[in-house]
């Protein structure tokens, strides 16, 4: 699938980018192409900016300084220096290096805005951003530096700095080289920025939006996987699927809940384990615990939260953000569209949903290991309890992750800290919200992997009762990297291997392959 996506060419400028297009470029190195119509619009807008540059009346970002220095007039002979100084001073990121896929999303999304014709840059700038993406030149961007207002300033400045032939970049193969050398190797000439271009390159929400799009893509797959993990737990803990009936779900018509319940019904269909205790004389329990019975309510609420976040992301993909911005009727206007509040909020909403999906998963795992609650399974699913500890400490790992996810669910977007001599006195912290969401999604994948491992082991201990076809397919997959019941083994490599199955979507696809609908698409 990766080679197929890398052969795809994503068009920029004809229409707003799609989530699939961003993922293809950011994660799978798909090529980009800027439409001829977009370049024509860029040239037309640039002519307007150049006319204003010759105007003796100051125009912000064209013939003035920036931020708190907006009233300082800059003479024409100093304006190239002004633009270069802006980028160099703003490329002040620090901390760990940001992941390659996030940087490529950042590059692509800024390219889309530049190609909109609303920023006033030259066509050469647009083409340089496309050429750098296609050459696999990925600027080194550091984790700290954006407050999520006036754009993701420092991250975007590092991209612009590389386009100027300065700073460090990663090239195909992963080596870090100077931007000057990387551009030369790709036969690209470093940019010399003209009036307005420095601002246009750094005034956008592209970093936080890129992280939102990647997170939305990944969370959708993890929610399908959470349903699979829940089905394994419900089945192997002798739970019932009757509570997921469509007519019961219709009494509370949330679409996410409806879809999660339908998925669980499909996953559990044909289970000999579930069928074995349908008779009231065999099973005297009236109700399952909440972590089993309420799985579609929690997973469904997360799905609805993701749907809202995806709506916000789609609107932002249709935006052209710069300050000042060139309007379609030719005005150059200051504005506040660079504020990251809309994106910051939904990044935080998703972090809450991620934490809660992981929390209910860990509770299902814990029930499976507790001899007082797992309905006939050995303590911790151990082969010889006392000598063997089974999955005791795997649950500790899940619990530790869930505890961290609760901390990561504390919203970044409620914080603000003044900057730029109080000119920028309220900021969104959207970049920080994106950074913590990425860590949260990694934690969720690991918690789900542990639940899948525990569910498969518990299912195996129910033999000779037969599992559902879908959960049985997942058990077959997991057995390739994690053996069946037996004495204790070194668990860490097995957890890591199953986590890889979760992250790549292999667990969700294995379950889907046994159902009537098509399996999920492969990802990495």
Q: Which parts of 108-174 are beta strand (E)?
A: 138-139, 142-144, 168-170
What is the structure's pLDDT at 1?
Answer: 36
What is the structure's pLDDT at 261?
Answer: 98
129 classed as catalytic: no
Query: pTM for this one?
Result: 0.93
Q: Is-contact 455 374, C-beta < 8 A? A: no
Compute CA distances 213 → 220, 307, 437, whole Å: 11, 12, 11
* Cα–Cα distance for residue pair 208/189, rounded to 1 Å: 29
CB 254: neighbour CB atoms within 10 A?
15
Q: Which domains does the chain have, with CATH numbers?
A: 2-204 (1.10.275.10), 212-317+353-513 (1.20.200.10)
* Cα–Cα distance for residue pair 78/182, rounded to 1 Å: 28
What is the structure's pLDDT at 521?
Answer: 47
Q: How many residues does the chain have?
A: 524
What is the structure's pLDDT at 393?
Answer: 97
What is the structure's pLDDT at 70?
Answer: 64
What is the structure's pLDDT at 51?
Answer: 86
The active-site residue out of 60, 144, 290, 396 is 60
- 218-237 in b/e form (b: 16+ CB < 10 A) is bbbbbbbbbbbbbbbbbbbb
pLDDT in single tens digits along all 524 residues of the chain:
333 344 479 999 989 999 999 999 999 999 999 999 999 999 999 999 888 877 777 777 677 766 656 667 777 778 888 899 999 999 999 999 999 999 999 999 999 999 999 999 999 999 999 999 999 999 999 999 988 887 899 999 999 999 999 999 999 999 999 999 999 999 999 999 999 999 999 999 999 999 999 999 999 999 999 999 999 999 999 999 999 999 999 999 999 999 999 999 999 999 999 999 887 766 667 689 999 999 999 999 999 999 999 999 999 999 999 988 999 998 888 888 889 899 999 999 999 999 999 999 999 999 999 999 999 999 999 999 999 999 999 999 999 999 999 999 999 999 887 777 666 777 888 999 999 999 999 999 999 999 999 999 999 999 999 999 999 999 999 999 988 899 999 999 999 999 999 999 999 999 999 986 444 444 54
Helix (H) or strand (E) holding 177: strand 176-178
What is the structure's pLDDT at 79?
Answer: 83
What is the structure's pLDDT at 3?
Answer: 39
What is the structure's pLDDT at 524?
Answer: 45
What is the structure's pLDDT at 519?
Answer: 42
pLDDT tens for 321-373 read 998 899 999 888 888 888 989 999 999 999 999 999 999 999 999 999 999 99
CB 43: neighbour CB atoms within 10 A?
13
What is the structure's pLDDT at 65?
Answer: 66
What is the structure's pLDDT at 283?
Answer: 66
What is the structure's pLDDT at 78?
Answer: 81
pLDDT tens for 125-172 read 999 999 999 999 999 999 999 888 878 999 999 999 999 999 999 999
């Amino acid at each position: 699938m990766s080679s197929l996506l890398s052969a795809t060419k994503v068009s920029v400028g004809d229409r707003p980018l799609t989530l699939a297009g961003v993922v293809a470029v950011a994660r799978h190195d798909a090529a980009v192409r800027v439409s001829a119509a977009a370049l024509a619009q860029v040239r037309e807008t640039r002519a307007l900016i150049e006319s204003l540059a010759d105007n003796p009346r100051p125009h912000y970002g064209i013939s003035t300084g920036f931020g708190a220095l907006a009233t300082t007039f800059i003479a024409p002979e100093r304006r190239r220096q002004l633009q270069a100084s802006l980028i160099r001073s703003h490329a002040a990121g620090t901390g760990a290096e940001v992941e390659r896929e996030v940087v490529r999303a950042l590059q692509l999304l800024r390219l889309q805005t530049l190609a909109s014709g609303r920023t006033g840059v030259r066509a050469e700038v647009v083409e340089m951003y496309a050429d750098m993406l296609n050459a696999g030149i990925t600027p080194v961007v550091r984790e700290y530096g954006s407050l999520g207002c006036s754009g993701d300033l420092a991250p975007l400045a590092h991209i612009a700095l590389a386009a100027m032939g300065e700073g460090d970049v990663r090239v195909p193969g992963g080596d870090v080289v100077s931007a000057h050398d990387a551009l030369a190797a790709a036969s690209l000439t470093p940019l010399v920025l003209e009036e307005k271009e420095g601002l246009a390159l750094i005034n956008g929400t592209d970093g936080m939006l890129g992280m939102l799009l990647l997170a939305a893509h990944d969370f959708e797959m993890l929610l399908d996987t959470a349903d699979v993990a829940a089905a394994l737990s419900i089945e192997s803990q002798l739970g019932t699927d009757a509570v997921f009936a469509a007519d019961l779900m219709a009494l509370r018509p949330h679409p996410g809940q409806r879809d999660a319940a339908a998925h669980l019904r499909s996953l559990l269909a044909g289970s000999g384990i579930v069928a074995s205790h349908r008779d009231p004389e065999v099973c005297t329990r009236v109700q399952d615990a909440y972590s089993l019975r309420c799985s579609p309510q929690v997973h469904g609420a997360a799905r609805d939260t993701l749907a809202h976040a995806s709506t916000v992301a789609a609107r932002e993909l249709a935006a052209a953000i710069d300050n000042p911005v060139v309007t379609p009727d030719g005005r150059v206007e200051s504005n506040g569209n660079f504020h990251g509040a809309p994106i910051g909020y939904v990044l935080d909403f998703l972090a809450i949903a991620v934490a809660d999906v992981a929390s209910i998963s860990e509770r299902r795992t814990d029930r499976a290991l507790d001899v007082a609650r797992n309905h006939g399974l050995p303590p911790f699913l151990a082969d010889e309890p006392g000598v063997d500890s089974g999955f005791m400490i795997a649950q500790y790992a899940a619990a530790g992750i869930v505890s961290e996810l609760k901390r990561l669910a504390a919203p970044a977007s409620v914080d603000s800290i003044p900057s730029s001599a109080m000119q920028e006195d309220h900021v969104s912290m959207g970049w920080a919200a994106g950074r913590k969401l990425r860590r949260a999604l990694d934690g969720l994948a690991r918690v789900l992997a542990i639940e899948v491992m525990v569910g498969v082991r518990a299912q195996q201990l129910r033999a000779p009762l037969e599992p559902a076809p879908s959960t049985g397919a997942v058990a077959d997959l997991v057995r390739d990297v994690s053996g069946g019941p037996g004495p204790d083994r070194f668990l860490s490599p097995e957890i890591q291997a199953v986590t890889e199955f979760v992250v790549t979507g292999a667990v969700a696809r294995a379950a889907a392959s046994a159902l009537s609908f098509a399996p999920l698409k492969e990802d990495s």
